[in-house]
Chain A
Amino acid sequence: GEDVEQSLFLSVREGDSSVINCTYTDSSSTYLYWYKQEPGAGLQLLTYIFSNMDMKQDQRLTVLLNKKDKHLSLRIADTQTGDSAIYFCAEEGENGANNLFFGTGTRLTVIP
């Protein structure tokens, strides 16, 4: 099956940029996703990128996609303590968005 890899932990200082990386295996995924999980809350869709794009910017978030290397990254500019959470990347399986495969999640800790 699909294999989505992320590093487990990342710590950054408040105000710095955070970069969360992800590698995936299914090149047929039409969209790739970033989800955020805060304690006691469900996963929230943060952003997504169409597979034919190599960059998408949305306010403080920048998604970079290297399709050749199957590498996806999420950059958070001016990281705030409220950004502390677990971030999951996800790719689509054979049923498209009805079949998401998630990475292990990266726990981002923002140090004041």
Chain B
Amino acid sequence: GAVVSQHPSRVICKSGTSVKIECRSLDFQATTMFWYRQFPKKSLMLMATSNEGSKATYEQGVEKDKFLINHASLTLSTLTVTSAHPEDSSFYICSASSGNFNEQFFGPGTRLTVL
């Protein structure tokens, strides 16, 4: 099946720094990539949808200047959490879709801890 990787799997950073998370589709071209945030005991929340070469579409309530998304190629999207604060600590998951049917393939997630 289609494989999506994320890097890093875990990151700890100091408050005020920026963190970049990469999402790669390893064996297919992802026309669309999605970024989710997972809260403990709560839903997986869609943050934004990005199409290759276009600006990301952010969900209501998600700050686009805080969570910068770049989808520069058909196999790579990056999420940069700028000026991270402890409340940004969470599990961030990306998914990728090739456009066939409705299936999104999910990465393993990145756990961000902001001290």
Contact = CB atoms under 8 A, between A and B. Distances in A.
Contacts of B103: 45, 97
Interface stretch (B41-49, B65-73, B79-87): B41-49
Interface string A74-112: 000000000000001000110111111111110000000
A35 B49 CA distance: 19
A104 B102 contact: no
Contacts, number: 55
A45 B4 CA distance: 13
Interface string B69-98: 000000000000000000000000101010
A27 B28 CA distance: 32
B46 to A, nearest CB: 7
Contacts of A104: 41-43
B65 to A, nearest CB: 22
In this complex, the interface size class of chain A, counting residues with CB under 8 Å from chain B, is: 20 to 34
Contacts of A44: 106
Interface centre among A42, A96, A102, A104 (most CB of B within 10 A): A42
A101 B46 contact: yes
B104 A97 contact: yes
Contacts of A55: none
A99 B104 CA distance: 10
A43 B43 contact: no
Nearest to A48: B102
A92 B46 CA distance: 11
A33 to B, nearest CB: 8
A102 B4 contact: no
Contacts of A102: 36, 43-45
The 5 closest A-B pairs by CB, nearest first: A97-B102, A42-B106, A102-B44, A43-B106, A42-B108
Interface of A: 1, 4, 8, 31, 35, 40-45, 48, 88, 92-93, 95-105
